[in-house]
Each structure stands twice: as structure tokens, then as C-alpha cells.
Chains A and B, each alone.
Chain A
Amino acid sequence: MFVRCLYSTEQTKTKCLKINAVQQKLMQQFLLKKGDFSKFVNTAIKDSDFVAPVEGSREKQNTRPFFREISSADEIYLGRKSYYTVKGFFFRENEKIFGFNGNKIINPESELKDTIYFGLRRCDLNGIYHQDIVFLDENEDPFYKARRDASLLIGYHCREGDDYCFCNSMELVDFFDLMFYDKGENYAVETGSEKGNSFVKKYSKFFTKADNAVSDEDRKTVNRKKLNTADIKDDYDNDDWKKGSDICVSCGACNFLCMNCHCFDFEDDVEFDLKAGSRIRKPASCQLRSFTRVAGNHVFRNERNARFKHRIYHQLQYFRERHNVQFCTGCGRCIEGCPVRIDWVEIINEMKK
């Protein structure tokens, strides 16, 4: 994977730059005719599972785009950034961690097929990059790793952001196997990994080599919204946070729509013989009271305001202090998906005025 160097310590910086120099050489550019696009997708679908954004479906009472496994290129919808993220494919609700029968541990069997994820925006890809830091670098999570190993990430570049996103304000990196840029008659395609290169080789009849197909101008995204990214370390006690937390209805939508949020809870489920069962992992939300409830019914962040601040500080402060990378990718889904449309970006901008 091509990841622009972000690490601040000298040692990691040198190492990172070396890796980047090697990776830079890997990067190749191609053109794919739009007329061939459907054929290309339909061919790829025959070889692997293919996940892409689709328009909302009536059966789901949902008019907003979301990712799903598709069976034909006609289903793909690239008109706008998807409302629901691709996160659920990697980090699942009710993931069986292990089964048990008496004292015997039974590891869950998985039949993973190679999956192509298409139409990921830069914010989605960076979200996966952050999930990798948590689930692969910090402590390796075998379930996440298996899914990531079986995945090929294909990006689709946003020319223009919507009313909610502010990705230009965040430190995003180039992280993809392939990246598609809309160039009128063609798609310019850039590879970002060995995996991406072999993918292009496999479907070489659709791709024509074209150096300099992607210009710096192509890589830009126009954003209407901006976040003042000045340090918020000393603003913890600012009263302005209440502007958000007072109207928050504690539904957790911001967490579940966020590409980065990765907190989870465990639950044990037993069979009626009371001997066999399984341990299950499910996504949790730091905006809900249950999140910090511990034995004795003690709740660490009982106030809504404390929970609200915790989310923003995790997005902008804590993760960066720990991993040198800004966590939030500026997709704005937490604002768009919030029933109240709490605009924390505006709250911070006001605070910093």
C-alpha cells in the first residue's frame, strides 16, 4: 500500500521515506475506457465478490447510497459519496470470536472469498487505513486481518465534496490498491500497491498504460466546508461544547456512520444445554450511556457533554497523540447522519474565532 509518510520521529521517518521511495516506483498509471467499464466490472465479478456503492433501496426504506455485494455493473452508483460506509464488511455486528463446549474452545470457521471493494472515496480509504492501525498494528485481530488480506481496495476520486464533508482540512494519505479518476471519456487509473499492479495485469485487456494520466489537479477535491484544525487541547472546558451536547438525542448515529469508529462490546451467548455457546463482538457507541458503564453500574461519562467531547477529542486529539495520524477523515457523515445535524465543525470553528 502506498502511504505518504506522516511519522514524526526521525527513525520512523527515515524508514518510512525508504518504503515510500520503493512504493513510488510501484505506482503506475493507466487509462480505462468508460465504454469498457461495465465489461470490466462484469468480468471481475465472475472471479471475486464485488462490493460497490448502490443507490438506496425501497425494501430497506432507504433512499441513501450504501455498499453491498453486486452482481452486475449496472447497480453501481457513483453519483455521490455513500451515506453508509463500507465499514460493516470488515467490522461486523455479532462477530463470533470463538465458540466453546465445556472447556473446549472451538475457533469459528470462515470461508472468505477474495473481495473487490470498488468506489471507495478518499475518506473511506483513510478510514480503512486507520482501522488497520487499530486492528493490525496495535494488536492483530485475526478476523479483521483475514478480511483485509482477502480485500482489494479500489478508490474513486471525489472532484467535489458535498455540504457536509471537509476532507481537505484533514491530513489524508494516499492509500489504495487502485484509484479511479474521472477523465471524461476515460477513467485514469493509478495503482498503489503490488496487489493493484497484479490486478491490472490480470485484466490487462481493459487497461492501457498511460504515464502522467493523473495530474496534481486531478487529485484535488473542492470542499465547501473547512475545519479549523488548531489544537483543541486547552478547550476542554469551553462552554461551546454544550451547543452540541444539549441538542444531542443520544442515538449513536454519528458513531455507526463513522468510517473510523471501532469500539466494540462483547457478549456471551449459551445454548440451552448451558455448556456450549459462543462469544460475540458487536460495535459500540461512545455516545451512549452503556459505553462507559462498568460493574456496580458506575458510569464514567455520565453527562452527555462529556460523551460528546470524548468523541471529538478522540477524532482530533487522542488518536494523533498516540499514532501521529489525525483520526477524523473529514467525510462529514456524522453531521449528515445526525437527526439533529449537530455541526461540531462549526462549533470548533466558532470556538477558535
Chain B
Amino acid sequence: MPKPKVGFYDLTGCQGCLLSVIFNENEILDMLSKIDVKEFRFIMDEKYSGKLDVCFVEGTVVNKEDEKVLGKLRERSKILVALGACACHGNIPALRNFADEKKLDYLKYEKKHEQMQDMEKPMPIAKFVNVDYSIPGCPPDRDEIKKFIKEILLGKEFRNYSDPVCRECRLFENGCLIDDGQICLGPLTKGGCHAVCTTNGFKCYGCRGVTDDANFEGYFRLLEEKGKTDVQIKKHMETFAGIEINEKLKDTEWQQLH
């Protein structure tokens, strides 16, 4: 079997996801011996414009240029993979969706508006093209990236980790941050991150997206009992997976909150 032609590309983002790929120090050489990397600007100079078997795309679409690049990548690729929270859920760049525009007025007076991007609402890549697989997370888990590549090589269907962050948190015998009165998105968020934030005492911000059967109503009720206001919860939820959560809570009072 010929090696699959693979490309790693980035739109607007911090490129931490691409680092997650090359941070697999112990296995990177094994990995690169199994795939034919055609473009990956962190490790090679070459540009490539031919067809790809697997195309990893990192970052959010924030302007027309990103949209154009993404469209071309889609045309050239058999399998397109959204890599990381920005590509999957919009992440931090997509916070602009929830910004109060009046607060941005000052930019006009500082003549910075000309530098502002031409697209008002940054969006995850699935809003523009068909995405075959997602590897979520900010940054994505390097073990999951390896697992994905192996399964593609084996011709298997890649299955995302779908259990909530709480699973790993409990198995690692962590304390519960919700019990401690924090707005932790653990019960709503897909795990597979080895509960890295919560294990180190940081509340979960939901960077891996929402679980299949998240009970928002139950969650809001729980946090309200702990004295949290809807606005506080909303602000916390918008940080990483706001667009996805907004869609799940469409036509509810949630969207009016500020």
C-alpha cells in the first residue's frame, strides 16, 4: 500500500495544534515513516498543491482569505480533519461572535478599524466545508492525534472519546470543582484529555466540545443552587465551545443573556 499523502495546514489560530503533532517526540519518526507528508510548515519548506489523502486543518475561519484557503484544501483532499478546538468549535477567535459591538467602537476613533478583518463572525471550519473527522481540544491530545493516524492507516473508522471529563477526573481521584463552587464544565464536556486542567486545579472550559447527552437544564439548575448567575455561566461557556452550545440552546432564554 502506498503511503497516504498527508498535509498539515493552518488558518487563523495559535498553531499550538500543529505543535501537538510534532511534540510526539518519541514516535514522530515512526509516524513520519508511515505517512508521506507533503506540506507542514513547521518542519519543512516545500509547498504542495496536488491531491491529498488526509488533510489536517487547524484554526478558525475569520476572514474571506481563510475561507478561500479552506475551500481549496477541501477540493484537494479525500479526508479533511478539523484539528483542535478552533477548527472544531471556533474557540477563542470565535468569541467575537459574542462581543458587544458598541464596546468595539473605540477602534474607529483609533483608526484601527481598517485593520479589522472583513468577516464579522469567525466560525469553525465545518460551517464552510464538509469535515470528515474532528480531533478537538485546546490543544488536541497528542495521543489522540497518534491514534487517529494509526486508525486511518488501518482503514478503521476513528471514534472520538465521548465520555465526559468527569470520568477521568473520578478515575484520577481528583476533588470535584463543582462541589467547591466553581463553574466547571466537566459534566458537559467530552473528555479524553486525561482531565489535564481539572487534575491541576483549573476548571474545565469545555475545549473538547459538548457530550452527546449533555443535560444543560440539570447543569444550570445545579450551578444556580450554588449561587452562580446565568450570566456568569454563559460567559464561562462561551469561551471555547460557545458556538456549539449556542446552537444546542437555540431559541431558549440563554441566547438573550448578557
Q: Which residues of A contact B (CB under 8 A)?
A: 56, 60-64, 66, 84, 88, 93, 246-253, 256-257, 269-274, 283, 285, 288-290, 304, 337, 339-340
CB < 8 Å neighbour of B222 from A84, A249, A272:
A249
List 6 other contacts, CB 8 Å, given A256-B171, A289-B212: A61-B198, A248-B215, A249-B222, A251-B187, A257-B170, A339-B222
- Interchain CB contact under 8 A, B171 and A93: yes
CB < 8 Å neighbour of A285 from B167, B175, B186:
B167
Take A56-B175, A60-B175, A251-B186 as given contacts and tell me if A337 and B170 are in contact as well, using a CB distance cutoff of 8 Å: yes
SS of A interface (majority): loop
| Cα distance A351–B162 in the bound complex, in angstroms | 34
Does chain A have a CB within 8 A of B2?
A: no
- Interchain CB contact under 8 A, B34 and A272: yes
17 A–B contact pairs at CB < 8 A?
A: A60-B174, A60-B199, A88-B173, A248-B215, A250-B214, A252-B163, A252-B167, A256-B170, A256-B171, A257-B170, A283-B171, A285-B163, A288-B164, A288-B167, A288-B213, A339-B176, A340-B222
Take A288-B167, A289-B162 as given contacts and tell me if A339 and B201 are in contact as well, using a CB distance cutoff of 8 Å: no
- Interchain CB contact under 8 A, A288 and B163: yes
Take A62-B174, A304-B213, A340-B222 as given contacts and tell me if A252 and B164 are in contact as well, using a CB distance cutoff of 8 Å: yes
Take A62-B175, A272-B150, A339-B176 as given contacts and tell me if A247 and B170 are in contact as well, using a CB distance cutoff of 8 Å: no
B233 CB, min distance to chain A CBs, angstroms: 13
- Chain B CB within 10 A, most for which of A56, A84, A249, A273: A249
SS of B interface (majority): helix
CB < 8 Å neighbour of A60 from B163, B173, B218:
B173
| Cα distance A64–B198 in the bound complex, in angstroms | 15
Does chain A have a CB within 8 A of B31?
A: yes
B162 to chain A: closest residue by CB: A290
Does chain A have a CB within 8 A of B154?
A: yes
B217 to chain A: closest residue by CB: A246
Kindly list chain B residues whose C-beta atoms are within 8 Å of the C-beta of A274. 34, 150, 153-154
CB < 8 Å neighbour of B201 from A61, A288, A304:
A61
Take A61-B201, A252-B163, A337-B170 as given contacts and tell me if A269 and B213 are in contact as well, using a CB distance cutoff of 8 Å: no
Kindly list chain A residues whose C-beta atoms are within 8 Å of the C-beta of B198. 61
Kindly list chain B residues whose C-beta atoms are within 8 Å of the C-beta of A304. 213, 215
A67 to chain B: closest residue by CB: B173
CB < 8 Å neighbour of A252 from B33, B166, B188:
B166
CB < 8 Å neighbour of B175 from A64, A249, A273:
A64
Take A270-B154, A272-B34, A274-B150 as given contacts and tell me if A252 and B170 are in contact as well, using a CB distance cutoff of 8 Å: yes
CB < 8 Å neighbour of A247 from B146, B176, B222:
B222
CB < 8 Å neighbour of A249 from B31, B170, B218:
B218
A-B CB contacts (within 8 Å), total count: 105
| Cα distance A116–B188 in the bound complex, in angstroms | 38
Kindly list chain B residues whose C-beta atoms are within 8 Å of the C-beta of A340. 218, 222
| Cα distance A289–B188 in the bound complex, in angstroms | 13
- Interchain CB contact under 8 A, A246 and B218: yes
A152 CB, min distance to chain B CBs, angstroms: 23
| Cα distance A61–B198 in the bound complex, in angstroms | 8
- Interchain CB contact under 8 A, A251 and B166: yes
Take A63-B175, A256-B170, A289-B213 as given contacts and tell me if A251 and B31 are in contact as well, using a CB distance cutoff of 8 Å: no
B14 CB, min distance to chain A CBs, angstroms: 27
Kindly list chain A residues whose C-beta atoms are within 8 Å of the C-beta of B213. 250, 288-289, 304
| Cα distance A2–B150 in the bound complex, in angstroms | 50
CB < 8 Å neighbour of B187 from A61, A62, A63, A249:
A249
- Chain B CB within 10 A, most for which of A56, A247, A304, A337: A247
Kindly list chain B residues whose C-beta atoms are within 8 Å of the C-beta of A61. 174-175, 177, 198-201
| Cα distance A288–B163 in the bound complex, in angstroms | 7
A256 to chain B: closest residue by CB: B170
Does chain A have a CB within 8 A of B219?
A: yes
Does chain A have a CB within 8 A of B211?
A: yes
Take A88-B171, A248-B215, A274-B150 as given contacts and tell me if A253 and B166 are in contact as well, using a CB distance cutoff of 8 Å: yes
Take A256-B167, A257-B170 as given contacts and tell me if A272 and B175 are in contact as well, using a CB distance cutoff of 8 Å: no
- Interchain CB contact under 8 A, A62 and B150: no
Kindly list chain A residues whose C-beta atoms are within 8 Å of the C-beta of B221. 247
Kindly list chain A residues whose C-beta atoms are within 8 Å of the C-beta of B222. 247, 249, 339-340
- Interchain CB contact under 8 A, B173 and A66: yes
A277 to chain B: closest residue by CB: B150
B162 CB, min distance to chain A CBs, angstroms: 5
Does chain A have a CB within 8 A of B253?
A: no
| Cα distance A62–B180 in the bound complex, in angstroms | 10
- Interchain CB contact under 8 A, B173 and A62: yes
- Interchain CB contact under 8 A, A272 and B30: yes
Kindly list chain A residues whose C-beta atoms are within 8 Å of the C-beta of B212. 289-290
User: Interface 1/0s, chain B 198-216, versus A by CB < 8 A?
Assistant: 1111000000000111110
Does chain A have a CB within 8 A of B178?
A: yes
Does chain A have a CB within 8 A of B118?
A: no
A289 to chain B: closest residue by CB: B213
Which chain B residues in 199-258 approach chain A with CB under 8 Å? Answer: 199-201, 211-215, 217-219, 221-222
- Chain A CB within 10 A, most for which of B30, B146, B213, B222: B213
A94 to chain B: closest residue by CB: B171
A198 CB, min distance to chain B CBs, angstroms: 32
| Cα distance A63–B180 in the bound complex, in angstroms | 10
B166 CB, min distance to chain A CBs, angstroms: 4
| Cα distance A272–B26 in the bound complex, in angstroms | 11
B219 to chain A: closest residue by CB: A249
| Cα distance A56–B172 in the bound complex, in angstroms | 13
Take A272-B34, A289-B213 as given contacts and tell me if A251 and B171 are in contact as well, using a CB distance cutoff of 8 Å: no
